[in-house]
Every structure is written in C-alpha cells, then in structure tokens.
A and B are shown apart, each in its own frame.
Chain A
Amino acid sequence: MRRYWQRIEERLAELLIHTSGISAVIFVFAILFFVLREGWPGLASGAVDLGQMLFSGDWRPTSPEGARYGTLALVVGTFSVTVVAMAIAVPLSLGAALFLSEFAPPAWRETLKVLIEILAAIPSVVWGFIGLMVMNPLIVQFTGAAIGLNVLNGGIILALMSAPIITSLSEDALKAVPDSYREAALAMGATQWQTAWRVLLPTARKGLAGAALLGLGRAVGESMAVLMATGHSVRYPNGLLDSVRTLTATIAAELGESAVGSEHYRALFLVGAQLLVITFAINWVASRLVRGGTK
C-alpha cells in the first residue's frame, strides 16, 4: 500500500515538473499566436503592405493621404541604440564581473553585489526620467548638440539598465570555472591577471556570451526608457547625436490611442511580430555561436 502511494506521488511530481518545463514553450507559442492573430488581418486585407513595411522608412499611420507603415527607420533606430548600449555595457560588465569574482576582497564583494542588484531593480520609467532630466542637459553641455535626446542618451541609459544583468550572469560564469584551473595557472607562475585573461575568460566564454546576449535582449525589448531618452523621431541617424525612434517605443506611444481592430492597430501588432522575429534571430545566431565556440 505504501509503495502504491509512493508511486502516485512520484507520478504527480513528474507531471508537475514536466508541465512547468514545457510551459515556457507554450507561453512563447501563445504569445506568437496572439500577436499574429491581431496583426495578420492587416496583411491579409492588404491594408499593410509587407514589402513597404520592411523596406520603407515612411511611418505615417494617420496620414490623410493614406496611411503608410514603413518600419525600416524604426528598425535602424532600434539597432543603433542597442549597438551603442552593448559597446558600453559589455566591457564594463565583464570588468565588473572579473573584479567581483577574482580580485575583490570578500567584504567588498558582498556590498557590491547588493548594490548591483539594487541597480537591476530600478524601474525603466525612472531610467527614462534620468535620460530626460539628467542626461539630456549633460549631453547638450558636453557635446554642443542641439538636443540631448538621441542615440547616445538612449544607448547610455540602456547600457546602465543591462549592465547589472550582464555583470551578475558573467560573475556566475566565472565562478563556475573549477578552482583547479586557477591553481594550475598560478602554480605555473602566472600572475592573477594573466590567469584571469588567459585562462578564466576563455574557459567561461560560453557563459559570458550568454550573459551578454541576455543583456542584448533586455536592450532590444526595452520601451519606456528609450521612448523618453531617444527623442522619438522617425529618421535614419547620421551619428550618435541624432534623435531616433525605436520599434518598442512606437508601440508604447501609439497602441493606447489606436482603435481596437483598426488598420493602425493591426500594423502595430505586426511591428510586435517583427520585434519577436528579431529577438528570435538574435537568440538563434547566439546559440549557434556559443555552440560553435566549444569543443
């Protein structure tokens, strides 16, 4: 009898774990299904032209001469801000992670980790506010730009937002390198720095790449902060000091006031689908790279 109950328990536990395991997959597909269900009629009815959407930069959803839904400028805007963010965040976070896991005295480490967690908990609207009220005048003052709401501002804000994630995940990856590696390197006469640079970083590269990519995902998907910090202007940027508009900010700004089921509403859901495809592509390329990098 007791054995019978044990078996049932076992089964239940298995089922529970199994369900939680596949729930992530179910959610991803449910989201994809929902976004496409809302967006698809726009394409099917011909209201949104796919070619125009992908290859034109003309985003005029309420034009009296006929709405146009070209998203190329928005895609370029998203990527320009993200690239700047990663160029700042990745080296900064790797350095921080190395310091935390290899060089920092234990007392420092604990304090710094708590501080980094606090940084990760700041809501995105607050970051947007910092972009608008603090960074905007600073950028105008130091670069002489006409307006401080631009690619640079958005990039810095996104870098600050994704740095905590990249740092703590990179630290985990470095911590996961067995101590025997460190001991072996030190025994061969390598300095602590040489050990970190030549042994730890190459060994942990898979985890580090994963950390950077999760940070990238955060940056591409962020909306409120970039809406406030980038100037929200549909255009191809010529440099760091030009305003841009991102895919996410467009959805955030326009979905609230577009009538449910209207052409504009459908087009915004198609922008959402586009965003999903972009993040899937990034993850796919990333996992290929990570796998190709290990033997």
Chain B
Amino acid sequence: MSKVAAVVRNAGSDTMVNVAQAWAEEYAKVNAAVSVEVSGGGSATGIAGLIDGVVDLANCSRRMEVSERARAEEKNHHGVVETIAGHDALALYVHPDNPLDEISLEQLGRMYGRGGDVERWSQLGISWPHGEDDRILLISRQSNSGTYEYFRNSILGKRGEFRAGTRDLNGSKEVVSLIASTRAAIGYSGMGYAIEGVKTLRIKAGASAAVAPTVESAQNGTYKISRPLYIYSLEGAAAAITNYLEWILSPAGQAVVRKAGYVPLVS
C-alpha cells in the first residue's frame, strides 16, 4: 500500500453518483496516491459545496445557473471551469407485458402535459390485452430533481406543465422498480437504470424512424432525449484534481462511463 498524498472531494448529482463512484474505484488502481471521495446529495448540493470550498469537483446533471457561477467566483476568487464528462440518455420505461414498443415525443407531451388528451393505452394505436381498464399510470419525479426539469423542458417545452396526479417518486431507481411491478405504468429515468423486468421504448421524433436508447444513437444525435453530464471545478485547482479530470476525459475514464450505463463522449 502506497501512502495517500492527496484527496479529491467529489459530490453532487444523484444521477451521476454511480459513474462517479466507478471512476473513483478505477482511478484508485491507476493512481493510488490520490484518494477520491464521492458523495451524492443532488446537483444543488454539489454546487453549494463548490461555492463553500468543501467540494473540489461538483457533479451536475443540469447546467450551472448564472447566479450560482457568480457566487462561486466571488467567494473563491477563481473562475469556474465547466467540463462535459459524458451524456445521459433518458429512457422511457414500461412493463414488459405492455404491447407498446415505440412512442413519439409528441405523444409523450400529450400524455404527460397538462390538458393533454392521451389518458388510455388504447389511444396509442395498440389494443390493451389486460382487461377493460387501460388507463395510463404516469410516473414522474419530485419537482426539484434535475431529471424532472430536463424531462419537462425537452418534452413539454420550457413553459410546459405536467398533468396533475402523476406519482412523484424520489429516485431514478424507484421509478424503474415501481414500473417492474405495475402493468399500466410508464416513467422516465436514465438508461443506465434499466433492470430485469422492464422494457425501454423506442422514441420517435418527427417523421424519422423510432430509435432505441443506446450509446450510439445518443452519440450521433438520433436519440433525442439525452443530456450532458457536467463536472464543475475552479481555475487554479491542485494538480491532483486537474489530473483526475483529465483522466476522466481519457479513453480509460470514458470506458468507465460506458460500463456504468451512460453515454461516453465521442472520441
């Protein structure tokens, strides 16, 4: 065992906590002198830590807001550096007994949006094989999650509103496991959260063919609901921190991204 010479404190987005953990473990094999401490808590928590100087690298599944950046720069007297470390394709999950295989962005909007007219599975051009009651059971996220915000902006538009009465769960994992036990449900989570017992839908945008969420389709842009994963740091950070960031962007670091179920950067 060599001695640990430096500690990198990495915190933030719950969406990214899996890949952040995987990076830290892999990096320990590459450079045992640096210990990376990972914690979750949400994008806002990571940024608050960066501002207060208790976090070196803030994981963020949304872009840092202008006000947040201003506060971080004022308090630390250093500029904030934005790094895109990969992408997360948002998958639409349904129960495997659901005959539906693809859905269009426009249909999703009519399903999730306020005042939308799609309330039954049979309205999507399939016949529901499980009896009379084919009402769609919408699953969403708590209103201050980054995933919730991204889904709203990309499906319902910047000024869009969700339909009332969605089940608002508190984590990406919870969404997927509830769908596995609920036949009439649909919900969204990162594609890395797929488990045995759920099905991901192909997504159709406009007139083009429906596309399944994969690393390739997210990278070439044919899969439309994919978002960047950011890491924020400060200018003038210690070498241990910048070296770690560089390693994350290297082929070795990006291989970890793919393995954790996220979308690596195009090399």
Per the 8 Å Cβ criterion, residues 67-106 of B in contact with A are none
Of the listed stretches A36-44, A254-262, A274-282, name the one at the interface; the rest are far from the partner chain.
A254-262
Q: Does A125 sit within 8 A of B, measured CB to CB?
A: no
Asked whether A64 and B158 contact (CB < 8 A) given A257-B44, A264-B144, the answer is: yes
Q: Tally inter-chain residue pairs, CB-CB below 8 A.
A: 70
Stretch touching chain A among B20-28, B164-172, B203-211, B248-256: B164-172
Cβ B164 vs Cβ A234 within 8 A: yes
Which range contains the number of A residues in contact with the other chain?
20 to 34
Residues in A neighbouring B185, C-beta threshold 8 A: 146-147
Question: Interface digits, A140-160 against B, CB 8 Å rule (1 contact, 0 not)?
Answer: 100000111100000000000
Q: Please count how many residues in chain B sit with their CB below 8 Å of the partner chain's CB atoms.
A: 29
On whether A231 and B161 interact (CB within 8 A), knowing A137-B181, A147-B184, A257-B42, the answer reads: no
Q: Which of B85-137 contact A (CB under 8 A)?
A: 133, 135, 137
Does A227 belong to the interface (CB within 8 Å)?
yes
Q: Which residues from chain B contact A257 at a C-beta distance below 8 Å? A: 42, 44-45, 142, 144-145
Give the docked Cα–Cα distance between A231 and B137 (Å). Answer: 11
Determine whether the beta carbon of B160 is less than 8 Å from that of A146.
no
Residues from chain B with a CB closer than 8 A to the CB of A137 are 181
Which residues of B141-161 have CB atoms within 8 Å of chain A's CB atoms?
Answer: 142-145, 149, 152, 158-161
Chain A proximity mask over B173-186: 1 for CB below 8 Å, otherwise 0: 00000100111110
Chain B: CB-nearest residue to A243:
B167
B167 near A60 with CB under 8 A, answer: no
Judge whether B137 and A146 touch: CB under 8 Å. yes
Given contacts A64-B159, A64-B160, A233-B166, whether A146 and B144 have CB atoms under 8 Å apart is no
* Contacting pair A232 B168 (CB below 8 A): yes
Contact residues in A for B178 (Cβ distance below 8 Å)? 147, 149
Contact partners of B45 in chain A: CB under 8 A? 257
List which A194-237 residues lie within 8 A (CB) of chain B.
227, 231-235
A64 to chain B, nearest CB (A): 5
| Contact B165–A235 (Cβ < 8 Å) | yes
Contact, CB under 8 Å: B169 / A232: yes
Return chain B residues, CB-CB under 8 Å to A58: 164
**What's the minimum C-beta distance from B146 to chain A, rounded to whole angstroms?**
9
Q: Could you tell me if B161 and A63 are in contact, using CB atoms closer than 8 angstroms?
A: yes
- Nearest-CB residue, chain A, relative to B169: A232
Residues of chain A with a CB closer than 8 A to B167's CB: 147, 149, 231-233, 243
For the complex of A and B, the 4 pairs showing the least CB-CB separation, nearest first, are: A235-B165, A257-B144, A62-B143, A233-B167
